[in-house]
Structure 1
């Protein structure tokens, strides 16, 4: 799946309002990471400081802080749960988020409080693409803007 040259892999779930992707792990935990669109609008990421492993976070609360060119923002969780593990490779080398946001650049793994109920809040396939297309429209996203770091651009 692709919008404006930005990839959104089919096998993932998405939380467009958070610019996050989620992957269901075999043990019931969820891996979370920043989408290609999130990387494009934030630009080069200089630091990721996660909350400590084992900490419980509520929905809409921060699981860490992301620092980029001229600002920093809280990475908010789209669901409640316990942070099982943070990606230490990303803490040491935050550029991994920009370089491989759907692979080595994952951010945290969370054990959700109630995945059976929360799962319906996340999108996949054409529903996810439509939601991101609308988000881009509302954000005034212009992939031709030289200030945008669009992943996959030659």
Structure 2
């Protein structure tokens, strides 16, 4: 799926208000990563500092800090759970998030406290595209901006 040239794979769930994607893993874990839209908003990412493995993350609380060109931002979790593992490759090479946000640039894996209850809050497919289109409208997002052009795959 694409919106303004940005990719949103249809095999993911999305938390548009957090600019994060979520993927259910076979072992019950949930992998989180920054969306292409999040990458376009932040620009080049210079550092990702996650919380420690084993740390319990409350919903809406930080699972790490993302540093980019002009600021830093707390990466807030859209669900409560225990941080199983952070992506060491991204910690060492944070630009990997920009280069492959849906693949090797994933950020953390959580063991959700109650995935069955939380899962329904996330969107996929056309609902995800509609939600991101609204976020872009509210953010006065420029789809022709330089950061977006760097991420385009069409």
Which bracket does the TM-score occupy, shorter chain normalised?
Answer: over 0.9
Conserved 8 A contact 1:3-1:133: yes
Q: Cα offset for 1:150?
A: 4.7
Structure 2: which 5+ runs fail to align? none
Aligned ranges 1:50-61 → 2 under 5 Å: 50-61=50-61
CA-based RMSD of the aligned residues comes to: 1.2
Q: 1:28 maps to what in 2? A: 28
For 2:147 and 2:8, the matched residues in 1 are separated by 21
Conserved 8 A contact 2:49-2:65: yes
Q: Which runs of 4+ in 1 moved over 3 A?
A: 146-150
Q: 2:90 maps to what in 1? A: 90
Structure 1: which 5+ runs fail to align? none
For 2:152 and 2:138, the matched residues in 1 are separated by 22
Tell me the TM-score normalised to structure 1 length: 0.97
For 1:67 and 1:98, the matched residues in 2 are separated by 12
Match status 1:117 vs 2:130: no
Cα distance change, pair 15–150 in 1 and its aligned pair in 2 (3 A): farther
Matched position secondary structure for 2:109 = strand
Question: How many residue pairs align between the two structures?
Answer: 154
Give CA deviations for 1:8-34 in whole Å, capped at 9, x if unaligned: 000000000000000000000000000
